[in-house]
Amino acid sequence: MPSLRHAPEGAQISVAQLLGYPGASDVLSLVAGHEGVDRAITHPRVQKSGLVFVGHTRGIVPTRVQVIGETEYTFLEACAPEARKRGIEALFSLSPSLVVVTRGVDPFAELVEASARTGTPLVVSRERSSRTIHLVHRSLDWLLAPRKTVHGVLLDVHGVGMLLTGPSAVGKSECALFLLERGHRLVADDRVELVRLPTDHIEGSSPELLRNHLELRGIGIVNVRDLFGAAAVREKKHVNLVVELCPFDEFEDYDRLGLDDPQVELLGLSLPSLRIPVRPGRNMAVILEVAARNHLLKRAGRNAARRFVERLEEELLAGGRDQGEGP
C-alpha cells in the first residue's frame, strides 16, 4: 500500500504548475481568478467543501485543492439565492488556493463573482468527481513528491534499475557504454533526477536537455539513441540497486564473500548497494551484469554467499564429528 500520504515539509507547487501538468491540463479549465494562479498548493490530497456551505469551516485547509462535486453542487442548487451566496462567500473567505467544480457544469454566477473578487482560481473539470479527484491526486503525488538530483549514471541492466555513482573520471560513463554494447539501456548520464513515488519506489530519469546523451572523455557527447537505436534508451526507471564505483586501492579491504547486505539511503528509503573497485583490465560490463543478476537472485530469496557459508559450516561440523569417533 502507498505510504507517502503527505508532501515533504516545505514542499509546495503553484496552481499554475498543476493546471499545466500533462493530463490535468486536458480536463481542467480555468474560468475565473486568473490572477491567483501563483497561489501555493502544499497537500497531495483534495478536500470536499460541502460542510462549508452550512457554516462549518473548521478543518478546511486553504492550501488543499477544494472540490465541489455533484453532491455539493446539487445542494447549492437547491438553496435559496441568499443562502447559496452566504455558503459560497464562506468558502472563498478562507482564501483557498484552488476551487474545482466537476462534471463540466457551468459554475453558479455567485461562484464566478466570488472567484473574480478574491482572485481565487476557479476551475471546471469535464470529468465526474471520482475521476477528477483521481487525476488531481495522481498529479499532486508527482508534483509534490520528494526529489533530488545526483551525479551518476542510471541504466536498465537485465531489468534492474542500476544507479552508478562514484567520483568524477572513475569510469561511470565508460561502464555505461560497455553495457549499451551488450544490449542494456541508458536512462540518464551525468545528472540523474530522482523522485520518491507514493508507492515507496524511487524513480530516476534524465533532464530533458541531457536525455539520450552520454559524455565520453576524448570523444565528447554522443547520442545513444542515434548510435544504438531506440531500444537502447528509456525515459525512466525505478532504482533497484546503487553501485558505487571507486578507484582500486590494494590496501582497502573489499567485500570478498557478499554476506552483508549494505544499504544506502536515498530520499528517506534504504536501497541495496555495492562498492566495486575499478582497475585496468577488469571487464566492468560483465561484473555489473553479474551484480544485476545476483541482485535478482537475492530478491527471489537465493543468496549464493549465505548458502555457501552454510554448506561450509555443515562440512566443518561433519568433519569434526568424524574425527571425534573412535575405531
Element (H, E) at 26: helix 24-27
Q: Which 8-state DSSP code applies to residue 193?
A: E
Q: Is 172 assigned a catalytic role?
A: yes
Query: CB neighbours (10 Å) of residue 241?
Result: 23
Place of cell 487525476: 135
Element (H, E) at 226: helix 224-228
Is there a contact between 33 and 115 (Cβ–Cβ < 8 Å)?
yes
Q: Is 298 assigned a catalytic role?
A: no
Selected catalytic residue, list 172, 184, 234, 295 = 172
Selected catalytic residue, list 117, 134, 148, 151 = 151
Q: Is 38 assigned a catalytic role?
A: no
What is the C-alpha to C-alpha distance for residues 218 and 311, in angstroms, rounded to an integer?
Answer: 49
**What's the first-to-final CA gap in the chain, in angstroms?**
62
Selected catalytic residue, list 58, 253, 256, 260 = 256
Q: Is 85 assigned a catalytic role?
A: no
Q: Which residues pair with 155 in a beta bridge?
A: 162, 186
Give the angle subtended at the CA of 158 by the CAs of 157 and 162, to the nearest 5°: 30
Element (H, E) at 297: helix 284-299
Selected catalytic residue, list 126, 138, 158, 190 = 190
Show which residues are catalytic. Answer: 151, 172, 190, 256
